[in-house]
């Protein structure tokens, strides 16, 4: 059995700026977390940036 790592994603509460520490699995499953300080519920969702429309002419980068 493969061991899973619990990767934490530090976030701030949008209401009181307290530190929230959801796991990467919670973010990927788009769960919600509750702030322990003020009780605000924060919905987690994955934001994906759109790919660039065109690649730069320079070959000094690695495209994944």
Q: What is the mean pLDDT of the chain?
A: 83
The label of the residue with tokens 């322990």 reads 36
Query: Is residue 53 one of the residues assigned to a domain?
Result: no
In a domain, 1, yes or no: yes
Q: Does the predicted model carry a pTM greater than 0.75?
A: no
Longest CA–CA span in the chain (Å) reads 49
User: Higher model confidence: residue 63 or residue 20?
Assistant: 20
Q: What would the DSSP string read from start to end of 17-57?
A: --EE--BHHHHHTT-EEE-TTT--EEE-----PPPPSS--S
- Where in the sequence is the domain holding 5, given as residue range(s)? 1-29
User: pLDDT for 2-52, tens place per residue?
Assistant: 777 789 999 999 999 999 999 988 988 899 999 999 999 999 987 776 666
Query: Is 22 a member of any domain?
Result: yes
Residue 62 lies in a domain: no
pLDDT of residue 60: 64
């Amino acid at each position: 059995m493969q061991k899973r790592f619990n990767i934490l994603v530090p976030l701030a509460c949008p209401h009181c700026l307290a530190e929230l520490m959801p796991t990467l699995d919670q973010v990927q499953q788009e769960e919600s977390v509750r702030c322990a300080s003020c009780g605000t519920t924060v919905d987690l969702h994955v934001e994906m940036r759109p790919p660039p429309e065109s690649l730069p002419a320079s070959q000094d980068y690695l495209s994944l």
